[in-house]
């Protein structure tokens, strides 16, 4: 007999109560070794985010069974998050070894582990957003994680100024995702008109000011975003003491290579950026869900068009509506998203 085919769907596609519970484990905690991950807040964050009851449809006979939410989340933790964080940890240390056979202090290792934990938390949340189609613009959300990935690569090769600059890009993309979802005309202009640039981040007409005025973020979050963006701008605009060949204290030239102080600054900036980034994306996700609920018509999660071709699929006694977007061919089944 051949292998049985299954479609997996969530019984309840709204995970926001669980998402809010997951965010309660932020800020994450430091740890000495990855063998301790099950005792960290990252573990609790991940399980809370992914612990969702599922129904499994056997397409051969239409029968439906239920999965164990805890077991699914636990399996995903080991198969997905553990592999992710160990892979990036290996990449980082391999790059260091190829350079100067450096041995990091235990304090630095713990801080790097925490930085990697935030990276893993953001990546796992991003995966959830993509699976649930709870994003406004897929290029913005994918580029945001790419900025973090590139920052880790550059930092492992001692390009601290360049690596920090990418955290600024990351913040801009995360905020733009939220801003554009409620300023759709600006998004269309930015996406289609060559002379239109990304809106200002802060200031009178800035994106974070707009979000705060419209009740999307609070004063504390706006101030934190503005402060971080300002700090990172020193790297973007090549402030003298941020150059990788200059000692920030003495202002004298130094040889290119590992610098414990610059590395510490980069890790601290990364942790702060990813922490606030998670919170802003969570607000966007919840807000976007409410916008989708208010839509009378089905909305394509990829291109936001409303024109679909719909057919009825039958699996035994089970019937599922399959909608195909006429604009981008994205397919949506009841409770199940299928990428074409």
The span from the CA of 11 to the CA of 62, in Å, is 16
Provide the token pair at 28. Answer: 């994450």
The span from the CA of 279 to the CA of 28, in Å, is 13
Contact call for residues 308 and 293 (beta carbons, < 8 A):
no
The span from the CA of 237 to the CA of 27, in Å, is 30
Q: Provide the domain count of the chain.
A: 2
Whether residues 231 and 308 fall in one domain: no
Whether residues 183 and 316 fall in one domain: no
Whether residues 251 and 323 fall in one domain: no
Name residues whose C-beta falls within 8 Å of residue 108's C-beta, 6 or more positions apart in sequence: 260, 263, 264
Write out the DSSP string of 128-146: HHHHHT--S-HHHHHHHHH
Amino acid 6: pLDDT: 47
Whether residues 139 and 264 fall in one domain: yes
Tell me whether residue 65 is in a domain.
Answer: no
pLDDT tens for the chain, residues 1 to 340:
344 454 444 444 445 556 778 889 999 999 998 888 889 999 999 888 887 666 666 666 666 667 676 777 778 787 788 888 888 888 888 877 666 667 788 999 999 999 999 999 998 888 888 877 778 888 899 999 999 999 999 998 899 999 999 999 999 999 999 999 889 899 989 989 999 999 999 999 999 999 999 999 999 999 999 999 999 999 999 999 999 999 888 889 998 888 889 999 999 999 999 999 999 998 998 887 777 666 566 777 677 778 889 888 776 666 777 889 898 888 876 544 443 3
Whether residues 288 and 145 fall in one domain: yes
Domain with 173, as residue range(s), is: 133-294
Contact call for residues 331 and 5 (beta carbons, < 8 A):
no
Tell me whether residue 72 is in a domain.
Answer: no
Over the range 195-213, which residues count as b (16 or more CB within 10 Å of their CB) and which as e?
eeeebebbeeebbbbbbbe
Contact call for residues 283 and 217 (beta carbons, < 8 A):
yes
Tell me whether residue 115 is in a domain.
Answer: no
């Amino acid at each position: 007999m051949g292998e049985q085919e299954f479609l997996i769907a969530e019984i309840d596609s709204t995970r926001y109560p669980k998402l809010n519970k997951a965010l309660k484990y932020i800020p994450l905690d430091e740890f000495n070794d990855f063998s301790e991950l099950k005792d960290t807040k990252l573990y609790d964050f991940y399980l809370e985010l992914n612990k969702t009851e599922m129904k499994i449809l056997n397409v051969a006979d239409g029968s439906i069974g239920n999965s164990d939410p805890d077991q699914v989340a636990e399996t995903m933790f080991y198969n997905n998050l553990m592999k992710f964080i160990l892979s990036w940890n290996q990449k980082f240390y391999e790059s260091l070894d190829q350079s100067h056979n450096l041995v990091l202090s235990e304090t630095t290792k713990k801080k790097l582990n925490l930085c990697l934990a935030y990276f893993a938390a953001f990546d796992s949340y991003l995966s959830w957003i993509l699976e649930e189609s709870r994003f406004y613009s897929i290029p913005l959300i994918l580029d945001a994680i790419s900025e973090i990935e590139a920052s880790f690569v550059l930092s492992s090769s001692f390009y601290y100024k360049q690596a920090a600059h990418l955290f600024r890009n990351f913040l801009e993309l995360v905020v733009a995702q939220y801003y554009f979802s409620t300023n759709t005309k600006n998004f269309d202009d930015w996406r289609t008109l060559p002379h239109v640039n990304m809106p200002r981040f802060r200031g009178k007409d800035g994106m974070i000011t707009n979000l705060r005025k419209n009740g999307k973020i609070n004063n504390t979050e706006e101030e934190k975003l503005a402060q971080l963006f300002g700090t990172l701008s020193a790297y973007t605009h090549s402030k003298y003491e941020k150059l990788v060949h200059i000692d920030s204290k003495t202002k004298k030239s130094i040889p290119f290579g590992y610098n414990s102080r610059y590395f510490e600054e980069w890790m601290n900036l990364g942790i702060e950026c990813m922490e606030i980034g998670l919170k802003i994306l969570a607000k966007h996700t919840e807000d976007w869900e409410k916008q989708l609920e208010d839509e009378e018509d089905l909305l394509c999660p990829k291109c936001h068009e409303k024109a679909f071709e719909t057919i009825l699929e039958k699996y035994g006694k089970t019937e599922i509506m399959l909608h195909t977007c006429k604009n981008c061919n994205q397919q949506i089944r009841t409770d199940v998203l299928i990428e074409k």
